[in-house]
Structure 1
Amino acid sequence: MLLARPSRSDLLTAAAYWPVATAVILPTYVQEFGWGLALAGMTYTVLLDSAAVFAIVFGLVPNLLVPRYRLRALLLLLAFLVASGVSYAVGYGLILHQTVHWGLMPLVGSIIRHAFSYGMLAVLLTGKRYFDVQQRLVLAQKAHAESELRNLRAQVDPHFLFNNLNVLRGLIQYDPVVADEYLTHFAALYRYLLRHKDDDFVSLADELGFADEYVYLLRHRFGAAYGFRQQLPAHAGLSRLLVVPGTVQLLLENAIKHNVGNEDDPLIITIEATETSLTVRHPRRPKLTPVDSTGTGLANLRERYQLLAGQTIAVDDTGPEFKVTVPVLAATSG
C-alpha cells in the first residue's frame, strides 16, 4: 500500500478551511440544538471530516492510481464508506441525542450525508495536490531543459578553432600585417562567443555583426570561392529581434562544410531576414568526397530553439537550393 505524506501546506490548507466552514455550519447547529450541542457537534464534524478527507486524499487516491494496488484500494474504499456511514450515524446520534436507525437504506443515507459534509474539503485538497504535482513537473522539466541547454552550448565544433589557427599560422609566416588584422577579427569573434555563451538570445543586429566578422575569416580561408549576400528589410528594427547566439555562424559553416565553391563560379550564400524568420540559403553543390561531420550542428540548433522558444527550425533540401529557416522572436519591452 502507498501512503502519501501530507505536506505542511496541506495541513495549513485544512486549517484555513475549517474557520470558514465553521462560520457557515455552526449557526445552523446553534439554531437547531443550542450552543452546547452545537459546539460538540461542530468539533466532531471537524475531526470526522478531516480524518475522512485525509484517508481519501493521502491513502485511497494514491493507491487507486497504481494498477497493482487498485483492487485492494477498491476494497478499502468499500470498507471506508461503511465505516464513514456508521461513524456519521453513531457519532451524531450520541452527541445530538438522536435515535440511530439501522439498515441498508439508513446506512446509505448516512454515507451520502457524510460525503456532502466532507466533500468540499476533499475537492479542495485533491485539487491542491494536483496543482502541486503539476508545479513539481514543470520545475523538473525546466531543470531538465536547462541541463540540456548547458550540454548543447558546450558542443563547440573544434574544427572551427583549429581551421582558423592554421590560417593565422600561415599569415604570420607570409604577411604579418594581414595576420595582425586577421587576429583582431578572430579575437572579436571569440569575445562575442564568450560574452554570449550563457545567453539564451541575442539581438539579430548583434548576430549579423558577428556574422560579418566570421565572413572576414572565411574569405581568408577560401578566397573568392564563396560569396555572401544579405537581404534585410529596410527599417526592420533588427536590434529588437532575437535569435539564438551563433545561429548564423553555424549555418554558414554548415554550408561551406558540405558544398563546393571555386573562384570561377563562387557558391553564393544568402542571408535573409524578416521580422519573423532568418533564412540562410545556397545552391546545392555537394562535395564529392565524404565530409567528416558528426551531424550535430543542425540537431543542436533545432534542440536549442525547441527548448528556448518552443519552435522548430525548417530545413528544405528537396530543391536546387538548400535552405534553413529559423524563427526570429520579438524582444519584450522592459
Structure 2
Amino acid sequence: MNTKFDKSDYIILAVFYLISATINIFDYLDQDATLLEYLIDIPMYVITSFTGVLIFMYFIIPKFLIQKKNYILFAIFGLLVVTFIGVIERVVGFSTGNNDWSKFPGLGNLILYGIFNGSDSIGLALGVLITKKFYESQTQIATIQKQKKENELKLLRSQLDPHFLFNNLNTLDSLIDSNPTKAKEYINKLSLIYRYLIKTKDLEVMELSNEIEFAKNYIFLIKTRFGYDYEFTIEQNISLVDKFVPTGAIQTLLENVVKHNKYDGKTPIKTTITINDGWLIIANSKSEIKSNQESFGTGLENLKARYKLLSDKNIQINNFDKKFEIFIPVIGLSA
C-alpha cells in the first residue's frame, strides 16, 4: 500500500475536517463556549489530528508495518503519538475554557484522557484515509494482474510467432551448409531458449544469474543472425546471489535494441549490460538509420507496471542523442 499523499487524499481530508469542525461548532454552541475556545480549540484539533495522520502515514506505518513488520514497535509508537496528541488537545482545551488549574487531572488520568482524546482525534481520519488507500491498492493490483495476463499472452505469441521461427530457421538453414558445427551450436542455443521460456512463463521473477545466462544464449542468436552488426558486453560488478529481476526483462530490452537500431554499414551497435549494486543497466549506441518498425512501447510499459508490484524503485530511462540507456532495479529477496 502506498502511504504517500496524493491530491485526492488532501481533498478527502479537507472535506473530513470541514465536516468535523462544523460538528464541533454546533457542539460548542450547546456548551456556551467562549470565543477563545472557538478560535483556538477547533483549529488546534484540525492541526493536531492532521499532524498525527501525517506521522502515521509517513513514518509509523511505512517503517514498522511495511518495512520491518514489527507490530510491537508499531503499537508502542502509535500509542505514544496518540497519547501525545491527546494530551496537547486536553491541555489546550483546559486552558481556553478558563478552568481551575487545581482541578487539572493528575498524570495517570491525563494519560488516559490523552489516549481517548488522541484516538478520537486521529482514529477516524486515519481510518478513512487507510480505507481509501487500501481500496486503491487493491484496484491497482487487479489492474496490473490483468495487464500481466494480457502481456503474458502477447509475449508467448511473440515468442512462438511464425516470423520469429522463420528468421531462426532461415539462419539455421544457411548454417547447415556453410558451418555445420555452428549450426549444431545454434540448435542447442535455440532449444535452451525455448526450454527456458516454457519453464519460466508463469514465474513473476527469476534469479538474475539465470536471466543473464538466458541473455547470453539470446545474444548468440542475434550475433549469429546479424554478424558484426551488433556488439554486446556484460559487466558484472556484484554477486548475483539472491538477486532477481522480472522474468523476461532482459530479453525485452535486448529486443528493443535490435528492433530500433539498424546497422549503418560502418559502426556496429554497441550494447553494454552492467550489473551494479541495486541496478541492472542496459546502454546502447543509437543508429542514425530510423527503424521502419512501428513501436507501441508495450514492452517497457509492461515492465514498468510489473515493477509497481515488485519494487519501491522505478525504471529510469535516459534517451540521449547518440545513446539510450535504461536502469531497471535489481530485486533482493534475501531475508
Normalized against structure 1, the TM-score is what? 0.57
Q: Say whether residues 1:219 and 2:223 are aligned partners.
A: yes
| CA distances 1:297-322 after superposition (whole Å, capped 9, x unpaired) | 22332333344212122222224222
Local SS of the residue matching 1:249: helix
Partner residue, 1:51:
none
Shift of 1:275: 1.9
Aligned pairs for 1:1-334 (under 5 A) are 65=16, 70=19, 74=22, 77=24, 80-81=27-28, 121=116, 123-125=118-120, 127-153=122-148, 154-155=150-151, 156-157=154-155, 158-162=157-161, 163-170=163-170, 175=176, 182=186, 184-233=188-237, 236-261=238-263, 265-333=267-335
CA distance in 2, matches of 1:194, 1:141: 33
| CA distances 1:237-291 after superposition (whole Å, capped 9, x unpaired) | 1122222222211111111111112676432221111122211112110433532
CA distance in 2, matches of 1:298, 1:267: 20
CA distance in 2, matches of 1:164, 1:205: 25
User: Match of 2:334, as an amino acid?
Assistant: T
Q: Which of 1 and 2 has greater Rg?
A: 1
Structure 2 residue ranges without an equivalent (≥5) = 1-12, 33-96, 104-109
Local SS of the residue matching 1:224: helix
| CA distances 1:160-210 after superposition (whole Å, capped 9, x unpaired) | 542321124436766497777655534433443444445443222111011
CA distance in 1, matches of 2:223, 2:15: 67
CA distance in 1, matches of 2:142, 2:243: 26
Local SS of the residue matching 2:313: coil
Identity of aligned residues (%): 23
User: Are the aligned partners of 2:263 and 2:289 in contact in 1 as well (CA < 8 Å)?
Assistant: no
Local SS of the residue matching 1:256: helix
Local SS of the residue matching 2:277: coil
Local SS of the residue matching 1:221: helix
CA distance in 2, matches of 1:195, 1:138: 36
| Alignment RMSD (CA, Å) | 4.2
CA distance in 1, matches of 2:14, 2:241: 55
CA distance in 1, matches of 2:294, 2:158: 10
User: Match of 1:237, as an amino acid?
Assistant: S
* Count of matched residue positions in the alignment of Structure 1 and Structure 2: 244
Shift of 1:120: 5.5
User: Match of 1:65, as an amino acid?
Assistant: F
Local SS of the residue matching 1:239: coil
CA distance in 2, matches of 1:287, 1:148: 37
CA distance in 2, matches of 1:159, 1:179: 23
CA distance in 1, matches of 2:295, 2:258: 12
Point out the more displaced range, 152-161 or 278-287.
152-161
User: Are the aligned partners of 1:226 and 1:262 in contact in 2 as well (CA < 8 Å)?
Assistant: no
Shift of 1:150: 2.1
User: Are the aligned partners of 2:260 and 2:291 in contact in 1 as well (CA < 8 Å)?
Assistant: no
CA distance in 2, matches of 1:124, 1:66: 15
User: Match of 2:207, as an amino acid?
Assistant: S
User: Are the aligned partners of 1:152 and 1:300 in contact in 2 as well (CA < 8 Å)?
Assistant: yes
| CA distances 1:40-96 after superposition (whole Å, capped 9, x unpaired) | xxxxxxxxxxxxxxxxxxxxxx997287xx59x83x6555456679xxxxxxxxxxx
Local SS of the residue matching 1:288: coil
